[in-house]
C-alpha cells in the first residue's frame, strides 16, 4: 500500500481515533479480513485533504473490540456489518443490530469466516459449531 499504516492495540484504539478526529480527519470506513482461525485484521481508513491514513488492529475473534461509533457516528453501520459478517463483538455501539443488519435467522451465520462457521454466540463447544455448519442450506457451497 502507498499510504502509511499505523498499528494500534485494542486498548489504545479509541484514544488514537479521537486524536485523529481532533486533527480533522474524516472516517472513510473499516475493512475487516480474516487472518486465521482465531484472528481478524481490521483496517481503519481515515482521510484528510484527499490523503489516506490507516490504523491496523489485529483482533482475536473471541474478545470484544471497543466501538468507535461514540467518536465517529458514521462507524455504526460498518461496525454492525462486521458483526454480521465475522461474528466479532463491538462494545458500546450506538445502535446495535446484534448481527441482524443484513442477515435473517435462516441465513448463514458469520459468512465471511472461512475457517469456522461459528458465530460469537455459538462459540460454546464444537457441537454447536457442527450444527451451524450442517443446518445451513448454502453451507456446502463454501
Q: Which residues bind another protein (CB under 8 A)?
A: 1-3, 21, 26-29, 31-33, 43, 45, 50, 52, 54, 72-74, 76-78, 95, 100-104, 106-108, 111-112, 114, 138, 141-142
* Residue closer to another protein (CB basis): 50 or 127: 50
* Residue closer to another protein (CB basis): 13 or 96: 96
Q: Which long-range contacts (CB under 8 A, 24 or more apart) does 128-134 make?
A: none
Q: Nearest approach, Cβ of 132 to another protein (angstroms)? A: 13
Q: Nearest approach, Cβ of 19 to another protein (angstroms)? A: 15
* Residue closer to another protein (CB basis): 34 or 89: 34
Q: Nearest approach, Cβ of 85 to another protein (angstroms)? A: 8
Distance CA 55, CA 6 (A): 5
Distance CA 118, CA 137 (A): 15
Distance CA 33, CA 138 (A): 21
Which H or E run includes 135? helix 125-135
CA angle 131, 135, 136 (to 5 degrees): 125
Q: Nearest approach, Cβ of 15 to another protein (angstroms)? A: 18
* Residue closer to another protein (CB basis): 3 or 125: 3
Q: Nearest approach, Cβ of 63 to another protein (angstroms)? A: 21
Of 80, 65, 73, give the one whose Cα is nearest residue 13.
65
Contacts of 1 (CB under 8 A, 6+ apart): 54
* Residue closer to another protein (CB basis): 5 or 125: 5
Amino acid at each position: 500500500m502507498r499510504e502509511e499504516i499505523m498499528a494500534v492495540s485494542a486498548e489504545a484504539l479509541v484514544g488514537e481515533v479521537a486524536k485523529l478526529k481532533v486533527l480533522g480527519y474524516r472516517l472513510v470506513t473499516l475493512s475487516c479480513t480474516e487472518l486465521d482461525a482465531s484472528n481478524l485484521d481490521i483496517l481503519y481508513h481515515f482521510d484528510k485533504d484527499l490523503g489516506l491514513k490507516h490504523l491496523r488492529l489485529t483482533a482475536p475473534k473471541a474478545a470484544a473490540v471497543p466501538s468507535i461509533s461514540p467518536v465517529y457516528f458514521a462507524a455504526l453501520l460498518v461496525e454492525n456489518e462486521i458483526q454480521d459478517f465475522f461474528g466479532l463483538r463491538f462494545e458500546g455501539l450506538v445502535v446495535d443490530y446484534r448481527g441482524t443488519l443484513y442477515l435473517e435467522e435462516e441465513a448463514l451465520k458469520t459468512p465471511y469466516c472461512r475457517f469456522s462457521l461459528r458465530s460469537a454466540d455459538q462459540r460454546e463447544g464444537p457441537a454447536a459449531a457442527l450444527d451451524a455448519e450442517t443446518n445451513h442450506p448454502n453451507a456446502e457451497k463454501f
